[in-house]
Structure 1
Amino acid sequence: MKNRVVVTGLGVCAPNGVGLENFSKALNSGQSGIRFYNELKELNFSCQIAGKPNIENIDLNQYFSKVQLKDLNANGLLYGVIAGVDAWNDATLEKSTAETPDWDAGIIFGTGILGVDKFRESIYKLDKGDVRRLGSTSVIQTMASGISAYLGGILGCGNQVTTNSSACTTGTEAILMGFERIQEGKAKRMLVGSCSDSGPYVWGGFDAMRILPRNYNDNPEAASRPMSANAAGFVPGSGAGTLVLESLESALERGAKIYGEILGGAVNSGGQRAGGSMTAPNNTAVQRCIQEALSNAAISADAIDAINGHLTATSKDPVEIDNWQQALQRKGGEFPYINSFKSQIGHCLAAAGSIECVGTMLQLDQQVLFRNANCEDVHPDILKLVPTDKIPKKTLNFPVKIIAKASFGFGDVNACLIFSTYTE
């Protein structure tokens, strides 16, 4: 008998809200976190807008020691530690203060690239021959596993502490990996999630690819338009999202609040075949991933009440909708409700899946479906498949039990999770 896995803690550092309360209010109201950045204009970016968490008023002493804060210059790491520690606290778990770590608690925390600004700073010092001035934290701030290493030390976790990286599927994949570890009895609780750095050295490559919107620099909040006929490319974002996963037995034993349950999930790759490429999905693989997630969760396609899509506001949005329709074999009015948080936060890259999974859990906990912003003009190819009332323009209050969440990433990789309300 495999362990049931529930969610007992949430933490988030998103462009439209840092902390659960702020993030929840923003999603409910449709508040955008996308802003114009003069720095991008000065660097001649075509797209001069982005989604970036505002942590200026956050007391970092609540999260780091004075020694850790010295020379700390990795914003993705900051976002990840804030979200991770907040999730741990939200789950009412204690940091291990004894010499012995908590052998039952582990971390899988992903990232795409970490510490770009710190890496750039180090390169300049090296080029000047100032190797002795790099400081003692340059390695841990720039290695991909630096985020899980920081969190592992802060919380005292003694189970598996590692980092995954799989482009835009990173966060969703990390959650599935933690789920499977608890399900198999290898851990009692896992802190899972992902983070992404912010700034021009992360976003510049996408601007060079000409896949970012360039006509909304004067109207940034209207720029990210998932499922819209006027979608002009994804708005780059950053941040972190975190979930505390726990065996149901452990959660009940300590009387923890349960946000919901993970029923199952799946990951796969299209192998960059049959239309799939480094930047485009193999549609058959996407559909298989969704169907395998349903099978792993032991539910039928008819059980899905809502979908939180990947939906990045590009020309691929209608293709994604068609893949959902093909995978679920639910057409017209039978199609589930569907939304995308990217209209408010942009595409947070490696952090996208985890931030959006936090939002998905909030929907289950509050029994709502958050609105789609900037989607007044639904793409005609989508309307051929999905009635407009299944794409809510305002937050809906209605009984929602099961939500499917998927992420698709560069390299033709896919991940899908099935979340549910908790029932005994």
Structure 2
Amino acid sequence: MNRRVVITGMGITAPNGIGLPAFEIALKEGISGIRKEPELEKLKFRCQVAGRPQVTEEMLQNNFTSLELKDLNSSGIVYGVLAGMEAWRDAGLEGDSDETDYDSGIIFGTGILGVDKFREAIHLIDDKNTRRLGSTSVVQTMASGISAYLNSKTGCGNMVTTNSSACTTGTEAVIQAYERIKCGKAKRILAGSCGESGPYIWGGFDAMRILPYQYNERPQESSRPMSASAAGFVPGSGAGALVLEEYESARKRGAKIYAEVLGGHLNSGGQRNGGSMTAPNSEAVVRCIQKAMEEAGVSPGEIDSINGHLTATGKDTTEIRNWSEALQRKGNDFPLINSLKGWTGHGLSASGSMECVAAVLQIKNDFVFGNANCEDLHPDIKAITGRRNVPTKTHFRRVNTVIKASFGFGDVNGVVVFRSL
């Protein structure tokens, strides 16, 4: 089978905007969600800035029951449910039926859940007071807790699972959902990912000294993808969600369509030939990009815009070289390229799904958002892309085809191609 797959709903919980309207405004107007975190300063982190979604009590009340909120202590589940249920409702799927929907599934990834709940549990167990753990401690600390929470609200009866591939998690979920629908095993899947906030998530990266510390008093300047003065990635968090659906199903029920998923590819560099736990194998990256285009049936010349991984580290230049080699395009012929991480920080396991939402919004609403803090474009990148193809301001123009990539810890890669319908 070779069914067409489209996107009929999206949701977002990002540091610079919760909900599609706020997030789109932030993209178009260049609004940063990176702030100084007093908790990190108190704990004497070197990097004291981060991207954390600003969740309100009203948002919680609108998405969780009072019983759920009583013991809820997982920011990842909060972010994932807000984004996932926005996408579900946006697709016109209310989820209030008493019947199980065997045509719909969930693939919603994460890196780790319930770190604060784990910490609470350790203290209670050490104090021999396990009865105070609460009835939701298990679901909040198991990785698949996010897909379980979402399914309690949607009633999906198809595949319901959680994937985990570091920074590639969200993009991987989208590709896996696409493949399942394409081969006729589901009509629609809620795909996405979430990542938690806080010092117990971000502390290890601070210890590795790969986070910027020079901008603690200027947080909005701290995340600098493709910049000559990039000093490391800013830790972030949040969630993105997309409802992927078989085209005929979407057409029959009159659903709005954001874009078509043309294809994608997943691979690994095997931590060989320059690839490692923290660095991608360039040969595998190039291969992943090219295989994604082959799967999608598009030529390099059809790519209007690239949404890169681009974390604001020394690997940004390598990534740009890999794009140029894979597409065989450079200079004025290089596509427009951007990175969401300048505005949100690096959402880790949430990054791919948040960036997929941003990429698809560009197609639906005809714009390419600019890059934060990139006025001093790295000279090695400028030599490949030219200056104009790395915009610092939003370009309002027709966007037909966007290619989006994620390259994750452990040398794992995911690339997906979206197109207007």
The TM-score with structure 1 as length reference comes to 0.98
Cα distance in structure 1, aligned partners of 2:298 and 2:82: 35
Q: What residue is the counterpart of 1:287 in the other structure?
A: 286
Q: Do the aligned partners of 1:229 and 1:378 also contact (CA within 8 Å) in 2?
A: yes
Q: What residue is the counterpart of 2:145 in the other structure?
A: 146
> Cα distance, 1:331 vs. partner?
1.7
Q: What residue is the counterpart of 1:47 in the other structure?
A: 47
Cα distance in structure 2, aligned partners of 1:393 and 1:51: 20
After superposition, give the CA deviation of every residue in 1:33-63 in whole Å (9 maximum; x if it has no partner). Answer: 0000111011110000000000024332221
Q: What residue is the counterpart of 1:161 in the other structure?
A: 160
- Amino acid aligned to 1:27: L
Q: What residue is the counterpart of 1:417 in the other structure?
A: 416
- Are positions 1:88 and 2:80 aligned together? no
- Amino acid aligned to 1:69: L
- Amino acid aligned to 1:314: T
**C-alpha RMSD of the superposition:** 0.8
Cα distance in structure 1, aligned partners of 2:343 and 2:94: 33
Matches within 5 A, 1:92-241: 92-98=92-98, 100-241=99-240
Q: Do the aligned partners of 1:83 and 1:240 also contact (CA within 8 Å) in 2?
A: yes
Cα distance in structure 2, aligned partners of 1:28 and 1:349: 23
Partner SS for 1:355: helix
Cα distance in structure 2, aligned partners of 1:69 and 1:222: 35
- Amino acid aligned to 2:301: D
Partner SS for 1:417: strand
Q: Do the aligned partners of 1:96 and 1:157 also contact (CA within 8 Å) in 2?
A: no
- Unaligned stretches of 5+ in structure 1? none
Q: Do the aligned partners of 1:96 and 1:102 also contact (CA within 8 Å) in 2?
A: no
Q: Do the aligned partners of 1:260 and 1:419 also contact (CA within 8 Å) in 2?
A: yes
Q: Do the aligned partners of 1:405 and 1:416 also contact (CA within 8 Å) in 2?
A: yes
- Amino acid aligned to 2:277: M
Identity %: 61
- Are positions 1:360 and 2:359 aligned together? yes
Cα distance in structure 1, aligned partners of 2:416 and 2:154: 26
After superposition, give the CA deviation of every residue in 1:195-220 in whole Å (9 maximum; x if it has no partner). Answer: 00000000000000000000000000
> Cα distance, 1:125 vs. partner?
0.5
- Are positions 1:316 and 2:345 aligned together? no
- Amino acid aligned to 1:20: L
Q: Do the aligned partners of 1:318 and 1:381 also contact (CA within 8 Å) in 2?
A: yes
> Cα distance, 1:357 vs. partner?
0.5
Cα distance in structure 2, aligned partners of 1:363 and 1:322: 24
Cα distance in structure 2, aligned partners of 1:57 and 1:66: 12
Partner SS for 2:226: coil
Partner SS for 1:59: helix
Cα distance in structure 2, aligned partners of 1:333 and 1:11: 34
> Cα distance, 1:96 vs. partner?
4.2
Number of aligned pairs? 421
Partner SS for 1:369: coil
Q: What residue is the counterpart of 1:5 in the other structure?
A: 5
Cα distance in structure 1, aligned partners of 2:398 and 2:146: 37
Partner SS for 2:229: coil
- Are positions 1:60 and 2:60 aligned together? yes
> Cα distance, 1:94 vs. partner?
2.3
Cα distance in structure 2, aligned partners of 1:182 and 1:298: 18
List structure 1 runs of 4+ shifted beyond 2 angstroms: 56-59
Partner SS for 2:319: helix
- Unaligned stretches of 5+ in structure 2? none
- Amino acid aligned to 1:207: D
- Amino acid aligned to 2:188: R
